[in-house]
Amino acid sequence: MPALQHAKDALIPRPGPQRLLSAVNLAYAVGRGVFLSGSVVYFTTVTGLSAGQVALGSSAAALSGFVASLLLGMLADRVGARRMLAVVFVLQAVGFALYPTVHSTTAFYALIVSIGFVEYGVGPSFGAFVSAVVEPEERVQVRAILRTMFNIGFSVGSGVAALALFGGGFFVRALPWASSVLWLGAALLVARLPRGRRSAAAGRNRRFGALRDLRFVGVTALSAPLALHASIILVVLPLWTVERTDAPHGLIPLLMIANTVFVIAFQVAASRGADTVAGAARLARRSGLWLAAACAVAAAATVGGAVTASVALGVAMLLLTVAELQQAASGWGLAHGLAPEEAQGEYLGTFHLHMILQSVLGPGVVAAATMSWGGWGWAAVAGAVLVCAAAVVPLARDAERHRPRPAESGPGSESEAGSGSDSAAPSTALAEAA
């Protein structure tokens, strides 16, 4: 019965803002799954680009995140998270609707980088809005529920994309339109969300205060190696399976499916204890231990035949999934807990840089180390992870002690309600029905 209750809590959010937020995230995730799962086929068969051009455009879009995540997070603090969230969804919908008009490499690069830039505003805007409508002690649990819904939605979107690719022709050409419609739907759902509370000091915090908060930047930097589970699961482990082990290649999609199922089933449960900075830091440390153990098991997959390799890779994926669940939860606790209330968007956007960094550098660096040096490469990755895991708790503790105090309200300050932005008392925001 407890297991059934946990599953119900994860898959059926409580009525009110949490359920609406989940619906928004579901629509957003389905839209991402629909297009991303079929984007390479779309760009190569419909737009006429080469695989190399598509890869270069995707990399350029990812690099834009280093600027966009911080700047759009700051903007969310100033104009209101709900308003910013609606704007980025609409801009993404417009951008994807323009993909069918792209017939040149230059136009493709310009559009995919623009869309990528806007897309990196979703994370900090969503996080800042969670801060606006959810009490601090519940934010990590709500983020866990939202991540569960995202994984469900992305899986559904990937299934739709697979059906479209099998259908070919019109169905492939319709992929960007489908994503565009879903994101417009997400924007409409955002408009139904309650007006979140906002600090009277919002928008008056120190410019680039998150980047000047060196302890917070240090916690963010330590989190990048701890998040290497993403690069290993998506890129390195499949390469290792194919190139260095005797395991059947068909094992790879099965491991991916298992990872998704475990994240959907256990993200909420794995997030317990991360609602304080101290608890989140300890969870981050534990995630590093699981990640290092996964590296060791993956390295051992070269010993023995196909059955031994398959078992080792299955255990490695399980360990990686545990690391993923704990690291994601610890990141929410650290980012929300160390951020001043008036600068949640900026701090969340800055903290998200650790995921952007690992996604840009992680696949290449870890793949090069493991493919070139084998077990010693895995050992080097595990060693770096263990160092960061050991350092994150004391640094997070120090960052919490020196966390910037809330900016004081001056005579000229306004609440968001007074300035016409999204606002409401916390109790009103949380009690408003869906």
Q: What are the tens digits of pLDDT across the range 329-370?
A: 999 999 999 999 889 999 999 999 999 999 999 999 999 999
pLDDT grade for 424, boundaries at 50, 70 and 90: very low
Tokens 């240090």 map to which residue?
218
CB-CB contact of 423 with 197 (8 Å): yes
Round to whole Å and give the CA distance between 200 and 220: 27
Give me the helices (H) in 12-138, please.
17-36, 39-42, 51-63, 65-79, 81-98, 105-119, 122-133
Give Cβ neighbours of residue 154 (< 8 Å, ≥ 6 apart): 29, 30, 32, 33
Please state the CATH superfamily assignment of the domain spanning residues 208-405 in this structure: MFS general substrate transporter like domains (1.20.1250.20)
Q: How far apart are CA 122 and CA 125, in angstroms?
A: 5
List, for residues 119-133, the tens digit of each pLDDT value.
999 999 999 999 988
Two tokens, residue 107? 């136009």
Closest to 23 measured CA to CA, from 175, 190, 154, 173: 190
Find all residues with CB under 8 Å of 334, minimum gap 6, and list them.
219, 223, 277, 280, 281, 284, 351, 396
CATH tag for 10-200+415-434 (out of 1.10.10.10, 3.60.130.10, 3.30.465.10, 1.20.1250.20): 1.20.1250.20
Per residue in 233-256, pLDDT (tens digit) is: 999 999 999 999 999 999 999 999
pTM score, whole prediction: 0.86
Query: Average per-residue pLDDT in the chain?
Result: 88
Token pair in block for residue 101: 């008009």
Give backbone dihedrals phi and psi of 103, rounded to 5 degrees, phi first: -135, 15
Of all residues in the chain, the percent with pLDDT exceeding 70 is 87
pLDDT digits (tens, 9 = 90+) for 180-209: 999 999 999 998 888 766 654 455 566 788
Task: Sketch the domain layout of the chain as residue ranges.
Answer: 10-200+415-434, 208-405
Name the DSSP class of 425.
-
pLDDT at 5 over 70: no
pLDDT of residue 18: 80
Question: Does this chain's domain 10-200+415-434 share its CATH topology with 208-405?
Answer: yes
Q: How far is CA 206 from CA 32, 333, 405, in A?
A: 34, 23, 11
- Decide: helix, strand or coil at residue 275: coil
What's the pLDDT at 174? 95
Burial class for 137, CB neighbours closer than 10 Å (0-12, 13-18, 19+): exposed
Over residues 137-160, the pLDDT tens digits come to 899 999 999 999 999 999 999 999
Confidence of residue 305 (pLDDT cuts 50, 70, 90): very high
CA distance linking residue 408 with residue 319, whole number of Å: 45
